[in-house]
Structure 1
Amino acid sequence: MKRVNSLQRFMNTRAGANCRYQPTCYEHAANCYTHAFLIVPAFVGMALLHRLSDDRWERITAWVYGMGLIALFLVSTVFHIISWKKSHMRSMEHCFHMCDRVVIYFFIAASYTPWLNLRELGPLAAHMRWFVWLMAAAGTIYVFNYHEKYKLVELAFYLTMGFFPALVVTSMSNTDGLYELAFGGFVYCLGVVFFKSDGVIPFAHAIWHVFVALAAAIHYYAIWKYLYRSSTLEDIRDV
């Protein structure tokens, strides 16, 4: 009984159907800090890829990927801060909650962009470069029309968008970095367990944030090593 009471200090009861979970103050703080600390590293990461770029196309790709990474952590942090201090900002909280959901779609598209832009693709696979953004736009429309109504459907959309472009990426002739890409995707999937465990596991959403950060770091490492750093080393060898 004492153990249950101690857990209740850090975790509220599970939310009902079509209702949003209300974190405790401890969980609110953890939700904010776990992504706030990653905003500056995301800026630095984007700047590094931009500096390693050899041409305009690589610089644009670095900017798109970097902005997706920054937006994910920045919007998430702002939403959780507003949600924590929401007494006079309910309409803004609702707006940023939708933005928090929308930015996930664009982050997924941005994460695939370096692989789709900087690796050689077949004529059919090349269409995935714009199709991932079409899927992100479709996800945005879904959020603005059915926000918080069908949570499992929304989760299915995220997973579909996360896995569908991988079919193209894994078919590339150059497979360097695909193990890291797959491992990062696996970490994201593990994190989904905590994403759906609010009210069951204390600090579940903050733990989900940690899994997102870890998976994003794995993907960033693969992009830096195999798409940007490797091309720079090849240029040095040619000289």
Structure 2
Amino acid sequence: MRARTENAHKHEMDLKKTKLGRFMNCRVPASKRYQPTEYEHAANCATHGFWILPSLLGGSVLYFLSMDQWHRVAAWLYGSGLTGLFVTSTLFHTAAWKISHLRKVEQRFHMCDRMAIYFFIASSYSPWLMLRELGPWACHMRWLIWVMACIGSMYVFFFHERYKLVELLGYVAMGAVPALVILSMVDRAGVCELAVGGVFYVVGVVFFKSDGLVPFAHAIWHLFVAVGATVHYYAIWRYLYVPGPLLQTSR
């Protein structure tokens, strides 16, 4: 009876694997990296590669809307971080798809991809920290956030993929701590959009950890990142860069 049950379970798993084999591989232990299918590889590349050109154009728009030096620096930092995220992610997933046999090369791309996330978070906060009036202590976050990005990158360099949960918590902490500082702004216009974008990132993490459970889970995570970044870009453009007369007219 027990053997029959085990055989039935095995048959059910084999059937499931046959149906989803093209779209999802079996889940792997936390200590190993999930291997996407050919379709998942293509989706991983496309879902971030598509946003490279829009991020370049978006950063350029902010730069040309800049009213002074600080606006230009903030636009350059934000545009570089935004574009850098999509470029490094696309390069890594392309390497993982096409040259996975070159393990050391793929590993370097993966490390750059993880490091880019820290600098993307820092650059996303920079316009708000640089262009809005902050409290006497909160203003130190303008440079502390870049220190955090450097520390996170050093962690990736020395302990890449060794403690995955610690790395995930590092990203979440870096995304949450500066948000508390933003609340000290005298002008809080745009905070609602920041919160909405943050929700997309947080919900997306569920899919980030669902490889082998949900087909195209990582590509779905990419889409959540893209939507969150789009909402944040809109908030930066709308509340920090749109000229005063246009802003007043649109209200």
TM-score when normalising by structure 2:
0.90
Matching residue of 1:132: 145
Q: State the SS of the aligned residue for 2:184.
A: coil
Q: Deviations over 1:54-81 (max 9, x none)?
A: 1111011100000000000000000000
**1:45 positional shift:** 0.1
Q: Does 1:62 align with 2:75?
A: yes
Matching of residues 33-72 of structure 1 within 5 Å? 33-72=46-85
**1:235 positional shift:** 10
Alpha-carbon RMSD across the aligned residues, in angstroms, is 1.5
Q: Does 1:225 align with 2:238?
A: yes
Name the larger-Rg structure: 2
Q: State the SS of the aligned residue for 2:210.
A: coil
Q: Which of 73, 79, 82 pairs up with 2:95?
A: 82
Q: Which of 116, 122, 140 pairs up with 1:103?
A: 116
**Structure 2: distance between partners of 1:79 and 1:215:** 21
Q: 1:231 to 1:137 in 2, by over 3 A?
A: farther
Range with bigger deviation, 117-126 or 101-110? 117-126
Q: Does 1:14 align with 2:27?
A: yes
Q: 1:235 to 1:178 in 2, by over 3 A?
A: closer
Q: State the SS of the aligned residue for 1:11.
A: coil
Aligned-pair identity in percent equals 59
Alpha carbons 1:180, 1:219 under 8 Å: kept: yes
**Structure 1: distance between partners of 2:174 and 2:18:** 40
Q: 1:87 to 1:144 in 2, by over 3 A?
A: closer
TM-score when normalising by structure 1:
0.95
**Structure 1: distance between partners of 2:221 and 2:43:** 11
Alpha carbons 2:48, 2:89 under 8 Å: kept: yes
Alpha carbons 2:100, 2:106 under 8 Å: kept: no
Q: Does 1:119 align with 2:132?
A: yes
**1:88 positional shift:** 4.8
Alpha carbons 2:141, 2:178 under 8 Å: kept: yes
Alpha carbons 1:43, 1:70 under 8 Å: kept: yes
Give the gaps of 5 or more residues in structure 2: 1-11
Give the gaps of 5 or more residues in structure 1: none
Q: Does 1:188 align with 2:239?
A: no
The count of aligned residue pairs is 236
Matching residue of 1:170: 183
Q: State the SS of the aligned residue for 2:147.
A: helix
Q: State the SS of the aligned residue for 1:15.
A: coil
Alpha carbons 1:52, 1:232 under 8 Å: kept: no
Q: Does 1:212 align with 2:229?
A: no
